[in-house]
Amino acid sequence: MSSSEENLRSVHLRWTREGRVFAGGSDRGPRVTLDGDGVAGPSSTEFVLLGLAGCMGIDVLVILEKSRVPVKDLEVGVVGERAESAPRRFKSVRLTFRVTGPAPEDQAKLERAVQLSRDTYCSVLHTLRPDLDLDIRIERV
């Protein structure tokens, strides 16, 4: 792996010796807890959905800011459906963006921001399988 430093992302996780609980994080930032049983922290599959929500959420914030569309609040909900048999990968994912701030006349810009993230910018989405069934909803609230 030869690459300039800025293209690399480095993380580590260490088993806490309790159940399926791991602690770790990026090599530069604060620690997080991951729990395979979803009690002490999100599970590993939930971490991926959170990464997807964050990636598209940030894209949408940045694009709307450039478009001068005001955003007061943004919540991203993600529901993923896993296959029934191993490896139990995600087959489909539904994302719901709930945005406060944009006016009714900003609806087209809001939809365009989500579309740009989906098609062009979101690093996490494009790291996932291309055959993932993706359903995106946008709600101005």
Residue 140, SS3 per DSSP: strand
Among 66, 78, 106, 115, binds a copy of itself (CB under 8 A): 78
Does 15 sit near a copy of itself (CB under 8 A)? yes
Assess 39 for contact with a copy of itself (CB under 8 A): yes
74 vs 138 by CB, closer to a copy of itself = 74
Query: Tokens representing 77?
Result: 């909900």
Give me 94's structure tokens. 């539904």
Q: Which is nearer to a copy of itself, 77 or 103 (by Cβ)?
A: 77
- Comparing CB distances to a copy of itself, the nearer of 20 and 140 is 20
Residue 33 touches a copy of itself, criterion: CB under 8 A = yes
**Strand ranges in 44-84 using DSSP code E only, listed in sequence order:** 73-82
Euclidean distance between CA atoms 119 and 131, whole angstroms? 14
